[in-house]
Amino acid sequence: MTLLLLFLAFPGQRIANLPTGVRPESHVWQVCVSHRFLWAVTAPEWTREPLRAFTGANVRVTLDKSFGDRWLVGIADAISSRELGLRGAYAPVDWLTLYPEINTHLYGFKLDSTWFNIGLCCHRTFGEKLAVVAQPRYTTNTSKHFVSLGLGAKVQVINTWSLSLEAEPVLVGRDSTTRQLAASLAIEKEIGWHNFIITLGTPREQSAPAMFRSFGEPTANSDVLDLLRGHFRVGFNLLRKF
């Protein structure tokens, strides 16, 4: 029953960037295409060089395969940043999912550009309409270390439409280039085995620790109020199971 309620409240496997703890059905493939514009909506590039702003994006494609009801493995490719990753998910109990992941840039395969992260996702549902998630995450390239805490909630608004909010503050490892937290608002529509998610968020990349980095004046505030100030980026996730 817990897994069924989780699936009803969290039909997709992600909010915007934060995992929800849901795994696809046994022996199912799933592909997810994620897109984030590089420039915040208030950035001057949209008026100075609109074509460059429109074509500049971080695109990430993931392909996962589930083996049974409790674990999956997958591969991720961030096309624009030339980043390749391997990832997995394992749920020892219904309310807890472990997410290990390794990502490396494809220019030299150097250790300092290879990042390991592991998240422990705790999820809870309240009926069929509301679900919350908390995920402490550790990220390292063996020389730098980050500890973050992802928090998210999703509520079903009308039929197959959902509204969600996530935030992932960096607790350990912050410096002058690291934002206080990565925050996103997401609007999701479920159609059969498809999930369409529009995201409004502060990160322009989708893997840790790149999603924690600040990039110039549009993200200088580096807090959840960026969503209200217009210092956020528009993006989408498109998920399909088959």
For the beta carbon of residue 82, count every other beta carbon within 10 angstroms. 11
Give the type of residue at 177. T
Question: Does residue 222 surpass a pLDDT of 70?
Answer: no
Residue 65 confidence (pLDDT): 92
Question: Of all residues in the chain, what percent carry a pLDDT higher than 70?
Answer: 86
What is the rounded CA–CA span in Å between residue 136 and residue 170? 10
Look over the chain and give the mean of its residue pLDDT values, rounded to a whole number: 82
Q: Which CATH class is domain 2-241?
A: mainly beta
The CA angle 134-132-235, to the nearest 5 degrees, is 85
Nearby residues of 240 by Cβ (< 8 Å), 6 or more positions away:
30, 31, 32, 193, 194, 195
Q: Where are the alpha helices (DSSP H) in the chain?
A: 2-9, 45-48, 50-55, 226-229
**pLDDT band for position 224 (50/70/90)?**
low
Q: Where are the domains of the chain?
A: 2-241
> Taking a C-beta distance cutoff of 8 angstroms, is the pair 234, 29 a contact?
no
Pick from 166, 169, 168, 172: nearest CA to 140: 172
Task: Tell me whether the omega of the peptide bond preceding residue 209 falls within 30 degrees of 0, making it cis.
Answer: yes
126, containing H or E segment? strand 114-126
Residue 1 confidence (pLDDT): 41
Beta bridge pairs of residue 121: 97
Residue 5 confidence (pLDDT): 39
Q: Report CA-CA distances (Å) from 181 to 11, 137, 167, 169.
A: 25, 13, 6, 4
> Taking a C-beta distance cutoff of 8 angstroms, is the pair 8, 203 a contact?
no
Each residue of 48-82: pLDDT tens digit?
888 888 888 889 999 999 998 888 999 998 887 78
Each residue of 139-154: pLDDT tens digit?
998 888 999 999 999 9
With the C-alpha atoms ordered 96, 102, 105, 106, is the resulting torsion angle positive or negative?
negative
Residue 111 confidence (pLDDT): 73
Question: Does residue 85 surpass a pLDDT of 80?
Answer: yes
